């Protein structure tokens, strides 16, 4: 599993993990989901350069639900641009697996991240300390 730097004291500020597409390549879906959820449960904001595939998003929701517990973890907030590229991709693109090319994705703890505005080209988010 990927080693991450030690998490700082939340009073110092909010830790942001910017994860490159390169770092995600080679991880299985479950490893990606684990990496995201571990970061979010530590109170970090996780930013993925290339995001997740629709199937991985579906599993992320499912695993997140199993980890929610009262007064401890209320789930996550996740933001990508509204339209998936899959919808625009041609049949050939999809055949070549290009539909997995996703967009920048921001994920954080539900109680610390709030979406202020969102449209096709802009996401504005308010991140607060714990």
Partner 1 sequence: MGLLTDLRSSIARAASTLFSEEDPKRIGIYGPPNAGKTTLANRIARDWTEHGDAIGPESHVPHETRRARRKEDVEIERDGKTVTIDIVDTPGVTTKVDYTEFLDHDMEKEDAVRRSREATEGVAEAMHWLREDVDGVVYVLDSATDPFTQVNTMLIGIIESQDLPVLILANKIDLEESSVKRIRDAFPQHETIPLSALEGDNMDEVYDKIAEYFG
Pattern of binders to partner 1 over 54-73, x per CB under 8 A? xx-xxx-xx-xxx-x-x---
CA distance 58 to 52: 10
Under the binding rule (CB under 8 A), the answer on residue 53 touching partner 1 is yes
Range in contact with partner 1 (rule: CB under 8 A) among 16-24, 27-35, 41-49, 112-120: 112-120
Interatomic CA distance for residues 82 and 19, integer angstroms: 21
Alpha-carbon distance 85 to 68, whole Å? 30
Residue 48 CB neighbour total at 10 angstroms: 24
Residues that bind partner 1 (CB under 8 A): 53-55, 57-59, 61-62, 64-66, 68, 70, 74-84, 86-87, 99, 110-111, 115, 118-119
């Amino acid at each position: 599993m990927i080693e991450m730097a030690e998490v700082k004291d939340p009073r110092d500020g909010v830790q942001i993990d910017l994860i490159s597409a390169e770092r995600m390549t080679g991880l299985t879906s479950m490893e990606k989901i684990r990496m995201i959820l571990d970061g979010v449960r530590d109170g970090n904001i996780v930013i993925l350069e290339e995001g997740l595939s629709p199937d991985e998003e579906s599993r992320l929701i499912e695993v997140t639900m199993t980890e929610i517990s009262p007064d401890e973890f209320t789930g996550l907030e996740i933001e990508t641009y509204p339209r998936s590229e899959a919808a625009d991709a041609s049949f050939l693109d999809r055949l070549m697996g290009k539909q997995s090319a996703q967009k920048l994705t921001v994920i954080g703890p539900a109680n610390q991240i709030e979406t202020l505005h969102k449209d096709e080209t802009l996401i504005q988010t308010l991140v607060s300390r714990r």
